Amino acid sequence: MIKFWAVALALIYFMWKQREKKDGAHAMRAGWFVAILLCPAWQQLQVRSIFLDHRSIAAGLGLVLLFAFPRKDGLSPLKRFVPMPTDFFMGLLFLSIIITVFLKEHLAPLTPFELGRQLLLPYLIGRIFLQRSKDIEEIAPVLSRVILIVTVLGILEALTRRNLVNEVFGMRFGLLETGEGYRWGMKRAIGSVRHPIFNGLMLVMVIPWTVAVHHYWKRGPKRKLWRQMPLMGALAVFFSVSRGPHAAAIATAGIMTFFRKPLLRVPIAVGTITLAVIAVGAKDQIMHFAGKLAGEEELDENSYVSINGELYAYTGTRHRELLDIVYAEAVVRNDFWGYGAGLKNVPVPEDAKQRFSSIDNDYLMFFLQFGYSGFYLFNILQVCAVLQVFCCAWNTKHGRSILCAGLTGSFVGVGMLIKSVWFDTDYGTVWLFCAGLSACLVNVQDDEAAFRAGATDGEASTLPEKTVVRVRKRSLVPSYTPIPRSEAQGQQSASP
């Protein structure tokens, strides 16, 4: 508890100093990035049915500072708030989960507040995070330093095989300190979370910010660190040494290029479709190649598992594929509301219970937990979040387009990869934040003079800095939410 409050007080002090430098909105943004990227996600304080972590502290304090110390330019998130479909579907999904908990488990008086902390609070922070496109530039000094620290710590962890933050707090993660936590001669960087995959996927969601900050480097002097932001973000993802986040980062870069280079849109689209067709036809070869990348050895007589009395070849990579066989009966017998977050009474073959207790497929896990209701709302929200930022990214003539293009790529990349990992709050909180941000960006005031001059790639502009452009408001679409972790998911995920 002492270590938890030491970090919490340091975070609170940092946010207060940022408020003194500017205003409450800036303190909220700065504190949020520090909390998600640097504060240990595994540090929690339980108060009856509610768990308090540093992200929640940053969000709660940020909201207080936002309204207690208004922006000097007079912009208010309440005055500019326009309801979006994301808000509607987010509320429906939250309600659906509450009903499932009530019907299938025990709904304690504080349970809705805990679920709201997990699901609604990060979404709300993203929903009001920005009021004008210049806010991206104003948070860049803090964000660039945070990304630098994250990258350096990740490289040191991978090469020296020591997580300095965890060592300071005396934290160790069983399997991740042995074979599963190492690959390609390096330690897979955990960073401030509980698994390399979670760390990598979280950083993929932050990559769009690094590219957006890089854009502002071209606008003024004395910002050399900003120039290296995309490289630092890519290095941080690489040293998680996880195949899923690597693939998601590549997808993010490709989709960003699609939006930022209109002349390449058709070739990129054609190439993507071609690769997708090839991937479907060469699924077995790709699975074999992915296993080789993970250092999985050739199959022998000990590499088979029994499921309902039948033997199947087993590796960490094949684990995800076999989940569909193990939980086939559970899927057929599932109902509208699911089995509950704790996954009680889920029919599983006796000979597969222990090996496949880790459900490394969020779509399957979400369906089992929250049934048809939660599953379809989950997917609708995810698709709508992509559509929101897609529409904002298509027009490259405004100040939000770079960030929106990157978020489109991150949503698509992470959306594909969560089929191989459950939606843990370590990175799920950041996903929810970005989902709320997707709705926020639709109505952000655009005041980028460089974009008015047609400088879509950050070229210098001769227009005055204070020129303000108000973009016509658009009504677009929604987002998505993480899931409460069951006790059964307390064990570490299988190797990606």
pLDDT at 140: 92
Secondary structure of residue 112 in the 3-state scheme: helix
Using CA atoms, how far residue 448 sits from 66, 343, 440, 457, 460, in Å, is 23, 49, 17, 12, 11
What is d(CA 54, CA 74) in angstroms, rounded to the nearest whole number?
29
- In terms of phi and psi (left: phi > 0; alpha: psi -120 to 50; beta: otherwise), the region of 488 is alpha
Q: Do residues 396 and 456 touch, judged by C-beta distance below 8 A? A: yes
What is d(CA 205, CA 377) in angstroms, rounded to the nearest whole number?
21
Average confidence (pLDDT) per 10 residues, the chain, 496 residues: 91 95 93 96 88 95 94 83 91 96 90 94 95 90 95 94 89 78 87 93 95 82 81 94 91 91 87 81 63 57 78 80 90 93 88 85 94 94 94 83 93 91 93 95 74 42 39 38 42 44
pLDDT at 294: 55
* H helix intervals, 128-195: 134-160, 164-169
Q: How does DSSP assign 59-103, residue by residue?
A: HHHHHHHHHHS--TT---TTTT----HHHHHHHHHHHHHHHHHHH
Phi, psi of 445 (to 5 degrees): -70, 130
Nearest to 183 by CA among 290, 287, 288, 283: 290
pLDDT at 291: 59
pLDDT at 302: 62
Q: What is the pTM of this model?
A: 0.87
pLDDT at 492: 43
